[in-house]
Amino acid sequence: MAELIGYIFTLDAIITWALASVVYKKGLEKTHPKANLLFRLCCTTLGTFIFSLIFGNYIILRNLNNSELISYLIACLISGISVTIGDLMYYMSLKKIDASRTYPLVQISLIFVIFFSFSLFGEEVTFSIILGGALILSSVFILSTKDKSEKTDLKKSMRERISEDLIIGVLLAIGTAFFWALAYVSFNQARILTGDVFISNFLRVSFGMIAILILGLFQREYYAGFKNENRINLKYFIYIGIAGILSLGFADAVYIKAAEINGLILTSTFTVNTPMVQQIFSILILKEKFRKRFIIAVILIIIGNYIILFL
């Protein structure tokens, strides 16, 4: 039986992720994606370490036998590497296709989460979750469609449809969805092994940071955020770092805690509401244009959430 505290944790994660995405969107206008990725991971590693000291209990690691400890570290490693690869593929996708196509595509991570949760952990998949999730997911695609004034002419649009960049961009977005789903499923597995989310989050983020630090030895743009010439944009890096601490560092842990209470499938289905909350913040904070299709999307989301909660 789903519990209210699990819904509250999920709502907290949704709001934090949505706010962080607004900060990322603004910060990326002034910073290089690869540079802010490493800077964000460094800040988040520090943040998650502090959270683990406050909310975690490292003694639990001593209670694991060698086999359990190895399985736990592997789960954290897979989660950290997967979320980092997913972030990289997301940035690469945005270079190939616009955000209006990329963002809804990465939301199909829900499908991968459901598959992993059902096949690996035997979680129940109800008709109400499938129907409600489909309605909420459809609202994301409605929100992402362009206005007529934003559309290109027919010839250009036809060329874009068959362009190599479009195909690569779509594949990268789907890859992002897969790796993000794998990251959360692995994170949840680490939580199952120890009953902890904050130490696990610190370890997985640390693994991701180490991977990028090593990759940065061959691609120096990852270290660009620490160069003197980028001091003029230092405040944007700091904003992104703080957003990373609150989002990747805290909201992800709260999300997995909600999954512990209400199950990963149900929790993940509700997190598809994030684009709607992000759209609200974009309108209020970034003063983006209000579009009529927003109302249609809200109606679909309300119906979808009602079906999941009460049917």
pLDDT digits (tens, 9 = 90+) for 141-180: 676 665 555 555 545 555 555 467 777 888 888 898 899 9
d(CA 257, CA 187): 10
The 3-class secondary structure across 111-173, one letter per residue, is HHHHHHHHHHHCCCCCHHHHHHHHHHHHHHHHHHCCCHHHCCCHHHHHHHHCCHHHHHHHHHH
What are the structural domain ranges in the chain?
Answer: 4-131+162-272
| Eight-class DSSP state of 1 | -
Mean model confidence pLDDT for the chain:
82
**C-alpha to C-alpha distances, 8 to 18, 51, 165, nearest whole angstrom:** 15, 19, 40
Phi-psi region of 227 (alpha: psi -120 to 50; beta: other; left: phi over 0): beta
pLDDT for 280 beyond 60? yes
d(CA 100, CA 78): 29
Rg of the chain in Å (alpha carbons): 20
Pick 49 or 91 by higher pLDDT: 49
| Eight-class DSSP state of 204 | H
pLDDT digits 0-9 by tens, 114-152: 888 877 777 777 777 788 778 777 776 676 665 555 555
pLDDT digits 0-9 by tens, 30-78: 777 788 888 899 999 999 999 999 999 899 998 899 999 999 999 999 9
d(CA 140, CA 105): 9
